[in-house]
Amino acid sequence: MDYSIVILALPFLMFLTLALAGNKMSQKFAGLLGTTGLLVITILSYMVTFQYFGMPRVEGVREALMPYNFEWLSFTDKLTINLGILLDPISVMMLVVITTVSLMVHIYSMGYMHGEKGFQRYYAFLSLFTFSMLGLVVATNIFQMYIFWELVGVSSYLLIGFYYTKPAAVSASKKAFIVTRFADLGFLIGILLLSFYTETFSFDQLTAEGGFFLTSTSGATFMGCSVASWAMALIFMGGAGKSAMFPLHIWLPDAMEGPTPVSALIHAATMVVAGVYLVARLFPVYLSVPDVLELITWVGAITALYAAIVACVQSDIKRVLAFSTISQIAFMMVALGVCTSMIPGEGGLGYMASMFHLFTHAMFKALLFLGAGAVIHAVHSNEMSDMGGLRKYLPITHITFLIACLAIAGIPPFSGFFSKDEILAAAFNKSTFWGVWMTVVAAITAFYMFRLYFGIFWGKEAKHEHTPHESPATMTVPLIILAVVTCVAGFIPFGEFVTSNGTAYHIHIDPVVATTSVVCAVVAILLATWLFAKPNTKPEKMQAALPKLHKWAYNRFYMDNVYQYITHKIIFARISKPIAWFDRHIIDATMDMFATVTNVAADKIKGFQSGKLQSYVWVYIVGAMVIAVAAMLIFI
Amino acid sequence: MSILSIFVVIPILMMGGLFLSKSMTQIRTVATVGSALQLIASIVLVVLFCGERAAGNTAEMLFMADHVWFEPLNIHYAVGVDGVSVAMILLSAIIVFAGVFASWKINPLPKEFFLWLILLSIGVYGFFISIDLFTMFMFYEVALIPMYLLIGIWGSGKKYYSAMKLTLMLMGGSALLMLGILGIYFNSSVDGNLTMNILEIAKNNAIPESMQNILFPLTFVGFGVLGAMFPFHTWSPDGHASAPTAVSMLHAGVLMKLGGYGCFRVAMYLMPYATVELSWIFLILTGISVFYGAYSACVQTDLKYINAYSSVSHCGLVLFALLMWNTTAMTGAIMQMLSHGLMTALFFALIGMIYGRTHTRDIREMGGLMKIMPFLSVCYVIAGLASLGLPGLSGFVAEMTVFVGAFQWDDTFRRVFTILACTSIVITAVYILRVVGKILYGPVQDEHHATLTDAVWYEKFSTITLIIAVAGIGMLPLWVSDLLRDSISVISERILQYI
Amino acid sequence: MNYAEFLGMGAEMTLMVVIILLFIYDTFAPSKCGKYLPITAITLLGIQTLYLAFGNFADVSLFGGMYISGSAEQVAKIILNIGTILVFIQAASWVKDGDMQIRRGEYYVLTLITLLGMYFMMSAQNFLLFFLGLETASLPMTALVAIEKYKQNSYEAAAKYLFFAVFSSALMLLGMSYIYGVTGTLYYNGILSNITASPLTILAVVLFIAGMGFKLSLVPFHLWTADVYQGAPTVVTSYLSVISKGAAAYAFMMVLKDAFGTADLVWLTVMYAIIILTITVGNLFAIRQQNIKRFLAFSSISQAGYIMLGIMACNAHGATSLLYYVLVYIFSNIAAFAVAGAIERASGKLNISDYDGLYKTNPKLSVAMMLAMFSLAGIPPFAGFFSKFFIFYSAIETGTTGMYILVFIALLNTIISLYYYLLVVKAMFLKDSEAPIATIKSDGYTKAVVFITVAGIILLGLVSWVYDYIYGMVI
Amino acid sequence: MEIPFIYYLIVSGVMFFAGVYGFIARRNMLAILISLELMLNAVDINFAVFNRYLYPGAMEGFFFTLFAIAIAAAETAIAIAIIINIYRNIKNIKSDNLDKMKN
Amino acid sequence: MENIGNEVIFYIIAAVMLIFSVMTVTTKHLLRSATYLLFVLFGTAALYFQLDYHFLGAVQVAVYAGGIVVLFVFSILLTQGLGQNKEKIKSSKLVLALSAAILGAVVCGYSLFTHIFPASRYAMGEEITMKTVGQVLLGSERYQYVLPFELISVLLLACIIGGIMIARKR
């Protein structure tokens, strides 16, 4: 599959073209260029997909291919960064996800971003992002992944800060970058630690069977945990940052300051799942460190619950979606965390479920965001209070949005049901505790999604300056396509393609789990309908009943304030400022002091040069005598 | 004449040309042609060097030439290059080239400005090609003193103070250095055949251990002052802040590299025993530099101060990596030198250009420049991204090589400092993005700025040259590391023997 | 009695001939020929220098070992001659000034007689001859310092110089008398073999060092320096600061080595302390000076400290480095004094602050001054750097830890010295002035001396031949 | 019985340091000069005595004294010339007046 | 007897010299100072005679007493007005001067007394003839002084030139 290189090269070339020559092009041309390019990439990745999954299994396992892998930078004899393309089930699956969503977003943006200043720049950044994300998923080694990991980070930064004159966007982009960067620090140290023991970055060696990883780190411990655990936990920290796991999630809601299609692409469908992808990629390794898997489960579960609760009370629709994204990604994390073996049927189900959910979630969440974008496009606001009753004006958006909501709520036959069901099943497999926990979260999900849905399309109609109207075709077509995908994706025999050990696995719905979750979801939806479908005062009453909880949830449990405190009060005020002060007033002053002392000394001794001959002579003779006496004392 | 001497001859010819120049055009022509020639020569040198290496020439230094200079004192004019010096020469040539364009409109006294600048470059080139301690030291000082005039005459702010402080502190360092060099010389051989030649000293390996323990700190600190090692870095913020654009570029871009290179070539190479014995002290100091520079940069408000502290941090990383001794870390150190040289030069060029327009460097007084001068702003963002270690730009490869190299040690002491150093990449992001967010993004802060113009051709030329170089290293790091690796492993292995 | 031995003293005899010729010329030539006196003096001394440089001289020891002249002495004399020629060129425009015209003959003759005295000082192997040489070098110098006798600065300086000189020679004589008392001879080689350690010996050596300390202006015997340098006419100051100092340094080395070589521990220790004091105190005083001549005086004090490092080495490199340092110092300091003198004559201004913005109006003079400052400060590629390096080299060559420390202290002091040298550069180049010194039209002599010294500053270091030559002669 | 030569040295020493005292204490330049003469004279005695008592073989001390006397004379001549010159200029020969140049 | 006489003479001379050298520097009258100096110089000459250095004594009398002191007297008369020939010594200066002189004297005295000189080879009445003096002064061997003799002539010439140049009116 030599042509797979084009999938990487083309977006990069497009980025260069658009970045360097974008100003010379018309907006339309730039948009078309970008979209066409992406279309080509999409087609190519579909070809890759078909070809890859069309290949026969080797001993029942899907073999990983590595059409390219060249040395990019060598550290030591053994440790080298290679750049290459690794095709295996999950990377191919990701190719599909990324190119599909990206293509949709490209098309959608032609309408959504129409006439914006910096349109060409926007497309350039999109290309850059696509390139980076594709590079990330096809990485053959952990360092290549890290490289593209950083690159998606910066693309995200650039796109969040696209409206660079808006201070909120600027600070959001900064926050996103720095928080993920902080997480990446963990990732980096994890990589370094890992590679120190394994002497390799390459995935195929790291994940090779036979406990290569474990044997090489055996014995080394640090603070009670094995070094292997530390390394993997730190790597997970990177993933947690990118995937907005609690408590590193704070950047994601703010990232909604970027253009909505960007949110759809980066902050819903692709980049934010990179963390999940990372864990999946290193899954065999994680399996060998169960304590870290436990950690992942806990982090995922807490995040899922936390984000779901917060999502219930947010008023900005994109923030609701953002928290929903956090929560859903946490689902995927939990799914990975609850795995206990490589075999899908015996505790390895979560892996498949996670990937499946990743896939379906990408589609419906992109759809939700794009739909939200259409809404925002229509009413020029993000606030739910400015919306309501829009179903009349935006019929296509309304329908597609509803489909997505149903999917995320886990209502059959929409795709979300299938994937979430697998996750819940995996969770129950591990323990009932996790199963119940996740089911509750799933129910809350249904609740807040429908709160959102009703808030936008039903409820009290807000006053509009001009009548909202349906979006142009460039925007609605992607919505429709994604809605279709959302409807049918659940029926894809996902287990055939992606499983933890590469063997085929037949998805079967566990009736108990499925029923429970659907019932819960339906109840939640009904509750939402009761509360929000018609304008009424029930929500306010509920707020009044639980003022503390509402306030805390509305303020996202003050996580941002904690961070604010850490950065401003501790890092800036307690570390940076004192260091800067120390530098100026201690170190620098010490250096200056040498000069001052010299000057003072010069001043003090000037009395000897009195201009009086006789005092000179006195100094002369006394000096001579003193020297003589001193010499006598030394030598006699 | 050795090909290497060209690097000293061209600038001398340039100085002659400048001396004869009458008009601004002539001055510019001479400067441009000369620096372009040098750039070409350095590229040719790289090609020749790689060709020789590919042809299987494994000598430690290539293109050696040796002329007796002061015979009674065993002082030779001895030149030779290995991969590290070749890389450094290329770096210098690029930055001088860019620096010439960055000072296209220098005023007043353009002729003098270029004369001094070129004199500085003689020192730099000479330093990198020398393998005789005396010659090396001489060129080292040649490179230092023009700074005084360059900052004093063409600088801004409290330039007298800064220029004096910079010069005196650097000369203080070189005072230590001179003592160290003399000490090395007089212990260079057991059989009385004293020599100043670095290669021979290394071959003799005769410096007694007790002497090494004295001489190593002398030379290391001596060079470390120029490498902005804590606590001898304080000349750097003031000096950079006051220096004119091209001088900041050259100084941060090339001159500070002299420090790292010297530590590597003289202190560590010649005194491996003491390197092993005493590294811990300097690891602490440089580790502090890395950390401390980054944190200090976070709260500065003057663009140049931010960059100067960032340089402290980055150059600290250079020395830090050198003290990790293994080939990887040292390769990383040299790559960090290249990378830091280029991107800091780019930074200072841009700051100079922005300052030339807004007449302020206080980030609180600027905002929304992206709208007003998109070219400069985009370049600034690129420089910033390079600085915070974005893959594809030079900073990343260098830092990663350093960290991977440093991580090859598994004792707690080095681990802790390595991780501490790693944290600097986050802090770097903090202060870089703070600046970018403050001055480039957001609304226009001062309506007077709204009418300012974007970069003109020579400015673009200057910045693009540097960006290409930054991206070149970042995208294709392998050739750089291959160029460096062999030369470094010689030194690294030499040191590792003593563990 | 073999008076043919007089002919063995090639340098002294030829210099004597030059003196006599000039004396005759000055006395008997028609007054309109007086204006050719400078060029005659320069030419004659030049010829004599060439003769010294290229004549065929054997190493001699004459007058029963009282006088020696080897190639080392010869090269020292050549160096002094070069310096004197430079001073003469510098003086040529000064002696044209109205009041000086009538005394120019005396100026040349007296200067050359002091030079003769220095020759003897350097060639002496006997304290009597040494002392006579010393006095021949200092007493006429007094007259030279007082040559602008109606200016208060001039006669005040002369008085201070004279009284100080005689006082120091009295002390030195006391020292010599004790040496005589201890060893029973005044011949160096006799002293060398007879000297014994006792308080009296130490006292005698210290008194001798004090006496030489006066000539070399070592701390604490330096206090006259600044006042005399400031008061004396600039040309005389430059002569005093370089030639006189250089000769004294060489002679001092000869005495310490040839006469007190066996008591070296004593004088090494004493000199160790004195060098540290000299360099440091000289520097500290120099920082505060405003008057350029005073400034150069203190700078020359600290330079003397560096020169003394060459003595500490007691070996061929030490002697070579010392002579080389003196040579470089001659060029650097004369360049500084030539520029200062030119400015003084044109504008009467002598303060460093008056130099503000000088580069704008007098670029060439400023550059020359700057190069001189750089050379004095030891900045490469100028000669001063080389001379400093070599002097440190020779000091460390002895290999003792104490020397490392001494060199370290000296090196730290170079930073201070750089500071004040840069102050001059700062005034000329960095600062602006509302009323800078107007553009000066220098005459040919000034141009020539500035040109030659600048060329020397640039070339003396880079061209290794000079050092090699001196080394070849000394060894 | 011969006189111990150290007695001579004591006499000369006292003379010398009397000269030093005079040099530092007196204000008049001529007085200073007179003190100087005392010092020089004292040293001459040392030479002569050492020669006579300890090293009578060669006449080094003797001749040193001889030359020293001549030099003292020459120096006095110059000094008096300068003093006269100063007197001519400022009608005063107080050493205190010689402090125009100082820090 | 002769020895004793010699001794007595020495003590007398020594006493005179000590007293007058101190008085030279302490008297407030400049002219007296010069006179006392003359006594000291005579005393020195007497010492030389006593040491049988007759030539030296003669030179001392001729040059010092006859030449220098006369010069002093003339210049004192030239420069001192009648009323202003007294001077007072400031106490600060007195302290300086005394401290320097005493310190020097103590150091010298200590050094002299601790040094072990070789045995005295004093030979009474061993006269140095004029012929010897002349030969040594003009010989060129070791311990002969023609070169210093010539050099001092140059020095004296220079001093004459210098002295004239300074002292003459123009």
DSSP letter at C259 equals T
Q: What mean pLDDT comes out for the span C41-49? A: 94
Give A543-551's long-range contacts (Cβ < 8 A, gap of 24+): A550/A313
> Are E and B close enough to touch, i.e. 3+ CB pairs under 8 angstroms?
no
Cα–Cα distance, A572 to A153 (Å, whole number):
24
Q: Tell me the per-residue pLDDT of C310-324, one tens digit each, with 9 for 90 and over.
A: 888 878 888 999 999
**Which residues make beta-bridge pairs with A68?**
A85
From residue A14, alpha-carbon distances to A83, A110, A130, B12 in Å are 20, 16, 10, 46
Judge: D96–A611 Cβ closer than 8 Å, yes or no: no
pLDDT digits (tens, 9 = 90+) for C73-108: 999 999 999 999 999 999 998 888 777 888 888 899
Question: How far is the C-alpha of D74 from the C-alpha of D52, rounded, in Å?
Answer: 26
Give tens-digit pLDDT for E46-57.
999 988 888 999
For B334, residues 6+ apart whose C-beta sits below 8 A from its C-beta are: B84, B87, B88, B260, B264, B484, B488
User: Could you list the residue range(s) of the whole structural domain that residue D63 is in?
Assistant: 5-92
Per-residue pLDDT, averaged over C3-28, amounts to 90
Has residue D35 got a pLDDT over 80?
A: yes
Please give the pLDDT value at position C438: 86
Chains C and D touching, counted as 3 or more CB pairs less than 8 Å apart: yes
Which residues of chain C make contact with D32, given a CB cutoff of 8 A? 163
For chain D, the straight-line distance linking the first and the last C-alpha, in angstroms and rounded, comes to 58
> Which of C219, C265, C288 lies nearest to residue A602, judging by beta carbons?
C288
- The answer to whether A622 contacts E99, with C-beta atoms less than 8 Å apart, is yes
Share the mean pLDDT of chain B: 88
Q: Do chains D and B touch (3 or more CB pairs under 8 A)?
A: no
DSSP for B177-189, written as a single string = HHHHHHHHHHTS-
Is pLDDT of C10 > 60?
yes
Q: Given this model, what pLDDT does residue A396 score?
A: 83
Which residues have CB under 8 Å from E82's CB, separation 6+? none
- Contact between chains at A624 and C288 (C-beta distance less than 8 A): no
The winner for highest mean pLDDT among A311-315, B7-11, E124-128 is B7-11
What pTM was computed for the model?
Answer: 0.91
Q: Do C379 and B172 touch (CB under 8 A)?
A: no
pLDDT band at C432 (very low <50, low <70, confident <90, very high): confident
Q: Lowest mean pLDDT: which of A568-572, B143-147, B362-366?
A: A568-572
Q: Which residues of B touch C411 (CB under 8 A)?
A: 175-176, 178-179
Shortest Cα distance, chain E CAs vs residue A618, angstroms: 6
pLDDT of residue A316: 83
pLDDT tops 70 at residue D1: no
- Is E107–A621 a contact, with Cβ atoms under 8 angstroms apart? no
Answer for the pair B2, B65: CB distance below 8 angstroms, yes or no: yes
Domain count, chain C: 1
Q: Does the distance separating the beta carbons of B407 and A73 come in below 8 Å?
A: no
d(CA B440, CA B430): 15
Q: What's the confidence (pLDDT) of residue A291?
A: 84
Span C23-30, average pLDDT = 88
- pLDDT higher than 60, residue B375: yes
**CA gap C420, B202 in Å, rounded:** 39
- % residues pLDDT > 90 (chain B): 22
Least Cα distance to A146 among B481, B406, B389 occurs for B389
- Chain B: touching chains (3 or more CB pairs < 8 Å): A, C
For E10-65, what is each residue's pLDDT tens digit? 899 999 999 999 999 988 888 889 999 999 999 999 999 988 888 999 999 998 88
For residue A83, give the 3-state DSSP assignment: strand
pLDDT, tens only, C375-431:
999 988 899 999 999 999 999 888 788 899 999 999 999 999 999 999 999 999 888
How far is the alpha carbon of A80 from chain B, nearest alpha carbon, in Å?
10
Give the pLDDT band (50/70/90) at residue C1. Answer: low
Question: Tens digit of pLDDT for each residue in A219-247?
Answer: 666 666 777 888 888 888 888 888 888 88
- Contacting A with CB below 8 Å, chain E residues are 93, 96-97, 99-100, 103-104, 107, 111
**Quick check: is D43 in a domain?**
yes
Whether A461 and chain B come into contact, CB under 8 Å, resolves to: no
pLDDT above 60 for C194 = yes
pLDDT at A211: 55
CATH number at residue D78: 1.10.287.3510
Range of A628-632, B61-65, D89-93 with top mean pLDDT: A628-632
- Summarised one tens digit per residue, pLDDT across range A425-478 is 888 888 888 888 888 888 888 888 888 888 888 777 777 667 777 778 888 888
Question: What integer pLDDT is reported at residue A583 of this predicted model?
Answer: 85
Alpha-carbon gap, residue A570 to A576, rounded angstroms: 9
Q: How far is A121 from chain B (nearest CA, A)?
A: 11
pLDDT in tens, A56-94: 887 777 788 888 888 888 888 888 888 888 888 888 888
The pLDDT value recorded for residue C215 is: 92
HEC profile of A422-454 = HHHHHHHHHCHHHHHHHHHHHHHHHHHHHHHHH
Residues A364 and A445: beta-carbon distance below 8 Å = no
Taking only the tens place, the pLDDT of each residue in A508-532 is: 777 888 888 888 888 888 888 887 7
Region D5-25: mean pLDDT is: 92
Is residue A248 a contact partner of residue A233, using CB atoms and an 8 Å limit? no
Which subunits sit against D, judged by 3+ Cβ pairs under 8 A?
A: A, C, E
Report pLDDT digits (tens) over B298-342: 888 888 889 889 988 999 999 999 988 888 899 999 999 999 999
B279-293 pLDDT tens trace: 889 999 998 888 888
Q: Is the pLDDT of residue D93 over 90?
A: no
| Chain C residue with Cα closest to A602 | C284
Helix (H) or strand (E) segment spanning residue E146: helix E146-167
Cβ separation B404–A161 shorter than 8 A: no
Residue B379 contacts by C-beta under 8 Å, 6 or more apart in sequence?
B346, B350, B455, B463, B467
Q: Which residues of A355-374 are buried (b: 16+ CB within 10 A; e: fewer)?
A: bbbbbbbbbbbbbbbbbbbb
Residue E36: per-residue pLDDT? 93
Domain interval for residue C64: 3-474
The burial of A60, by beta-carbon neighbours within 10 Å (0-12 exposed, 13-18 middle, 19 or more buried), is given as exposed
